Amino acid sequence: MNTPRQEIEARVAQGVSKLFSPVPPAPYVRPCPDSRHGDFQTNVALIQGKESKANPRDLAAQLAEVLELDGVAEKPEIAGPGFLNFRLTPEYLARQVTQRWGDARLGVPTVAQPETVVVDYSSPNIAKEMHVGHLRSTVLGDSLARLYCFLGHHVIADNHLGDWGTGFGMILFGYKREGDPEKLKRDPFAHLEAIYQKVQREAKTDETVREAARSELVLLQQGDAKNRKLWEEFLKYSLAALDVIYQRLGVQFDYTLGESSYNDALPGVVADLLERGIARESEGAIAIFSDGTLPPKDDPFLVSEKEGYRDNPLLVRKSDGGYNYATTDLATIRYRHEKFHAQRVLYVVGGPQQMHFRQLFSAARRWGYNDVKLEHVWFGTILGADKKPFRSREGETVKFRALLDEAEDRAGKIISEKRPELSDNERATLARVVGLGALKYADLAQNRNIDYVFSWEKLLAFDGNTAPYLQNAYVRIRAIFRKAGLEKIPEASVQLTEPAELALSRKLLDFADSVLMAAEEYRPHYLCLYLFELATLFHKFYEACPVIQAEEATRNSRLILCDLTARTLRQGLNLLGIDVVEQM
């Protein structure tokens, strides 16, 4: 089932092939910037005019004459310097709405060539409690995994835990000195983080502490039995605490393969890089340097300075024999290629790591991994009202668990005011759905590449581009069916005559394009904006077009529009990892 844009583009492509040689490159069609002038637009006459030195308006007129649009769109209009604008016919809209209403996938096609896609996201450190900085990676990665799975790809969600890094040397040293097994069982994050912070402070001024921590890490990496046993205990309790957070969020992983999973492979990775001449020794360490194949300005292994460019190597083995993130990440690429047969890997990691991933991906290509698409899906920072990284009132990093608690608490208070008759269980269920949904949506609705200011008032509002607004729109539609006493819509033909019906129908047919665009560009905010616009158009339709009170044929037609809108809202929110409720 083609989307309307694909249908128009196919017709334009046929016309272009008849008129122009050589044929201008596709795509030819995009949504019309101003819906008052049409639904879709093509600028192909402008492109061809520039190439052939012909008048674009004349070319647009010629194209309009050869286009076969019967049953899809009205005769196109020439606009501006040579655009062609298309307006879908009411009959076409009605047919398409009917088809989508009868389609479990709501018109969203599965991909012709499915890929094995690994989504690497969340990735907290096991000995530290998750904080607000993990929100973006967790909800963005979960949404991308849902989108790619819905489109028919084989998705592997992998939580690449930080369970083997430099900090563990400090934790092992501190725990041996003052660890408490009972505190570890009771609250592993609080106990281990307190130990880590204390040793970290000491290490800043005491070289012996720094050296002792480094030694503990090397022992761990070399398989020391005592350090290994302690590490396994830290991991067990930490994973149990993390699972509580993920279950609460409705986030699931297929694999939880932390850095430690690749430890045994690290010597072989470095040896192979050395043997192939990709890495070399430098001051006792092993690193990857520029190979001179890229222009200096594009080379991640060079840094620009006033005097020219200097080396910016990627370290893969430290001078003390220890390994680092880069080594582990390279081993992970090899593992995912060989074991998962990954064709695409999405690393949902913050913007500050852009240089690391540029170097990593370049090194992987030089290593021979050219048949897997490696993508850094980076994101900005969550800010407080002061435009600085979001902190608690005490100036500390906000803990993820506390953020979820506050979301549910604030939602619960709003629901108590609006629905005081609800039982405690009903209120708690609504508070979870509304509060956590609002928190997720507030993040996903942002362009991921920008920083945004966090606001409880905005994200929990029942108007504007928020999850509560969309959830409430769904509830409002379901209430229509309860009021009508209908469990099933009678057979009916869709009739579209009113402007509000036509506008809602056009938007309903855009669902597939919004899903495809959100997945292709790794930007769920496109889907958020679509759902907000859909809900807004539904409310306008509901105000302008009586449903239950209309005569039978019109009522049944409008009930189809209502049902399709509700299903689209529910499916769209599900792709964002957000639940709906039948009553609010």
Helices (H), 374-455: 400-418, 424-444
The DSSP bridge pattern shows strands 452-453 and 285-288 to be unpaired
Res 36: pLDDT? 86
Mean pLDDT calculated for residue range 369-375: 97
Lowest mean pLDDT among 155-159, 271-275, 382-386, 514-518: 382-386
**What gap in Å lies between CA 341 and CA 156, rounded to an integer?**
11
Please say if the pLDDT value at position 394 is more than 70: no
Residue-wise pLDDT for 159-174, tens only, equals 999 988 778 899 999 9
Q: What is the DSSP string of 17-36?
A: HHH-SSPPPSP-EEE-SSGG
**What gap in Å lies between CA 459 and CA 440, rounded to an integer?**
9
Burial of 552 by CB count in 10 Å (0-12 exposed, 13-18 middle, 19+ buried)? Answer: exposed
Across the chain, what does the average pLDDT equal? Answer: 94
Residue-wise pLDDT for 109-161, tens only, equals 999 999 999 999 999 988 888 999 899 999 999 999 999 999 999 999 999 99
Q: What is the DSSP string of 317-358?
A: E-TTS---HHHHHHHHHHHIIIII--SEEEEE--GGGHHHHH
At residue 3 the predicted structure's pLDDT band, cuts being 50, 70 and 90, is confident
Residue-wise pLDDT for 436-494, tens only, equals 999 999 999 999 999 999 999 999 999 999 999 999 999 999 999 999 888 778 778 99
Please say if the pLDDT value at position 392 is more than 90: no
For residue 132, the number of C-alpha atoms closer than 13 Å in the C-beta half-sphere is 22
* Close Cβ partners of 294 (under 8 Å, ≥ 6 residues apart): 362
Mean pLDDT calculated for residue range 502-520: 96
Please say if the pLDDT value at position 395 is more than 70: no
**What gap in Å lies between CA 380 and CA 351, rounded to an integer?**
6
At residue 378 the predicted structure's pLDDT band, cuts being 50, 70 and 90, is very high
Res 485: pLDDT? 86
- Secondary structure tally for the chain: helices H, strands E: 21, 15
Please say if the pLDDT value at position 527 is more than 90: yes
At residue 393 the predicted structure's pLDDT band, cuts being 50, 70 and 90, is low
Res 321: pLDDT? 84
Res 400: pLDDT? 93
Please say if the pLDDT value at position 27 is more than 90: no
Phi, psi for 155 (deg, rounded to 5): -100, 135
Res 129: pLDDT? 87
Strand ranges across the sheet with 373-377: 154-158, 116-120, 344-348, 373-377
At residue 561 the predicted structure's pLDDT band, cuts being 50, 70 and 90, is very high
Please say if the pLDDT value at position 247 is more than 70: yes
What the chain holds in terms of domains, given with CATH numbers, is: 4-88 (3.30.1360.70), 167-251 (no CATH), 467-575 (1.10.730.10)
* Close Cβ partners of 233 (under 8 Å, ≥ 6 residues apart): 184
Lowest mean pLDDT among 5-19, 345-359, 389-403: 389-403
**What gap in Å lies between CA 467 and CA 472, rounded to an integer?**
8
Res 146: pLDDT? 98
Cβ(214)–Cβ(169) below 8 Å:
yes
Residue-wise pLDDT for 272-323, tens only, equals 999 999 999 999 999 999 999 999 999 999 999 888 899 999 999 999 888 8
Res 153: pLDDT? 98
Cβ(322)–Cβ(214) below 8 Å:
yes
Instruction: Find the farthest-apart pair of alpha carbons in the chain and give their distance in angstroms, rounded.
Output: 85
- Scan for tokens 């189809």, then name that residue: 560
Mean pLDDT calculated for residue range 512-518: 96
Cβ(479)–Cβ(538) below 8 Å:
no
* Single pTM value for the model: 0.93
